[in-house]
Amino acid sequence: MKKRIILMTLLGLVSYKVGAQTKKSASLKQAYAKDFYIGTALNLQHIHDKDKKGINIIKKDFSSIVAENCMKSMFLQPVEGQFFFDDADKFVAFGQQNNMFTIGHTLVWHSQAPDWFFVDKDGKNVSADVLKQRMKNHIQTVVSRYKGKIKGWDVVNEAIMEDGSYRKSKFYEILGEEFIPLAFQWAHEADPDAELYYNDYNEWHSGKVQQITKMIKDFKSRGIRIDGIGMQAHVGLDYPSIEEYEKAIVAYANAGVKVSVTELEISALPSPHRISSNVADTQAYEKQLNPYNNGILPADVEAAWEKRYLDFFSLFLKHKDKVERVTLWGVTDGDSWKNDFPIVGRTDYPLLFDRKYKEKPIVKKLIHLAKEN
């Protein structure tokens, strides 16, 4: 009898441990594997293996990665013809080693392009032919280097404004709207198997939706490859509405492409006066716009913030036939660009892991949500 009791106790302990481990090993990427990739953005600390705790989270919870900064053109080609690939190579190798759906961000973007790209030696705008040749060389050098390894490219980033007009960037000024299809064609030539995306913020504004769906249809009628729209999701507690975001997902899918939710984070701070993700649109610091600078979110704010994550993920699950990937813009709150945007020096709480790398309760809730759907 005594032996039996000891055996039962031991069995109980073992199954408790197994249960605890199963619980511990439940990960976001496993929970959503049947639905879509779950991605995150890697910074240089991750890429150079200096942030071990961050890396452990990335390996456990995410099935897709994108480089937050190191593949932007000012870093890849700071001087004409001189490419710097050290960081990007390490990023891509990490994706390969860990079998992750690896995304390249971004080939053509008005921001963080090197100054030399658009001007001649006298500082004057280059001709259309010269800019085309520079774009083609940049795109094809980068895409062919990672052929077969980068699975999808943000080919063009943030070229269309909320009212549907084209951003008056140097690309547009010198080449007109054709710079977008040209970029897609050159990327496709360099890696015919890579998926190609147009990526932008505030893509739920009706003017933007109209212009982007028109562009997709135009590409398709001309036989130019476009696989998806990257819908950045730098969102807040009260913008945009789920309905607005949903309408846009449906509109892009109806135009014949997949949708990826890119750059997702939900700010827990009071909304700034102007809503934009354009890095140039900063605002002055005001104390009342930085209310939780002691590292603690009040319970009611945390509850509202969790509800927003659950509402968005419920939406993504509802449209899982259209959504290829959902990518968070960073791992921990401490990593997030939102601490300095649109106001420098705030303490925000937008991501799934806290400043001490602790998983927030929302992670288990998102895992549970996936299991229910």
Q: Report the distance separating Cα 213 and Cα 91, nearest Å.
A: 32
Provide, rounded to whole angstroms, the least separation between the CB of residue 263 and ligand 9MR.
Answer: 6
Task: Among 8, 279, 296, 344, indicate the residue that binds ligand 9MR (CB under 6 A).
Answer: 279
> Looking at beta carbons, which residue is closest to ligand 9MR?
337
Q: Does 68 bind ligand 9MR (CB under 6 A)?
A: yes
Pick 14 or 344: Cβ nearer ligand 9MR? 344
The nearest distance, CB 276 to ligand 9MR, in angstroms, is 10
Q: Looking only at residues 31 through 60 of this chain, which bind ligand 9MR when binding is defined by CB under 6 A? A: none
Q: Quick check: 277 binds ligand 9MR (CB under 6 A)?
A: yes
DSSP letter, residue 42? E
Q: Which is nearer to ligand 9MR, 154 or 191 (CB)?
A: 154
Is 158 labeled as catalytic in the residue annotation?
Answer: yes
Binding of ligand 9MR at residue 112 (CB under 6 A)? yes
* Binding of residue 169 to ligand 9MR (CB under 6 A): no
* Binding residues for ligand 9MR restricted to 281-320, rule: CB under 6 A: none
Q: Which is nearer to ligand 9MR, 219 or 337 (CB)?
A: 337
CA distance 68 to 103: 10
Peptide bond into 240 cis (omega under 30): yes
- Considering only residues 128 to 157 of the shown chain, the ones binding ligand 9MR according to CB under 6 A are 157
Written as six digits, the tokens of 256 are 């014949």
Residue 187 · residue 139 · CB < 8 Å: yes
In whole angstroms, the minimum distance from the beta carbon of 114 to ligand 9MR comes to 13
Per CB under 6 A, 332 contacts ligand 9MR = no
Distance from C-alpha of 198 to C-alpha of 209, rounded to nearest angstrom: 12
Is position 359 annotated as part of the catalytic site? no
Q: How far is the CB of 111 from ligand 9MR (least distance, A)?
A: 6
- If the CB atoms of residues 105 and 308 are measured against ligand 9MR, the closer one turns out to be 105
Residue in 207, 198, 265 with CA at minimum distance from that of residue 227: 198
Which residue bears the tokens 């009791």?
5
Q: What is the CA radius of gyration of the chain?
A: 22
- Residue of 30, 45, 69, 314 interacting with ligand 9MR (CB under 6 A): 69
Nearest one of 323, 364, 327, 330 to 349, comparing CA atoms: 330
CB of 335 to ligand 9MR, least distance (A): 9
Residue 13: alpha-carbon gap to chain centroid: 42
Report the C-alpha gap between 187 and 182 in whole angstroms.
Answer: 9
- Reading phi first (left if > 0) and then psi (alpha if -120 to 50, else beta), residue 345 is in left
> Could you give the count of Cα atoms lying within 13 Å of 260 in the half-sphere of its Cβ?
30
Return the residue of 203, 263, 324, 333 that touches ligand 9MR, per CB under 6 A.
Answer: 263
Q: Give me the catalytic one of 68, 203, 263, 265.
A: 263
Number of residues that bind ligand 9MR (CB under 6 A): 11
Q: Is 24 helix (H, G, I), strand (E, B) or coil?
A: helix
- Closer residue to ligand 9MR (CB): 71 or 369: 71
φ and ψ of 327, to 5 deg: -115, 125
Distance (Å, whole) CA 10 – CA 16:
10
Alpha carbons 258 and 91: distance in angstroms, whole number = 25
The catalytically annotated residue of 68, 158, 162, 195 is: 158
Q: Which residues bind ligand 9MR (CB under 6 A)?
A: 68-69, 111-112, 157, 201, 232, 263, 277, 279, 337
Enzyme catalytic residues? 158, 263
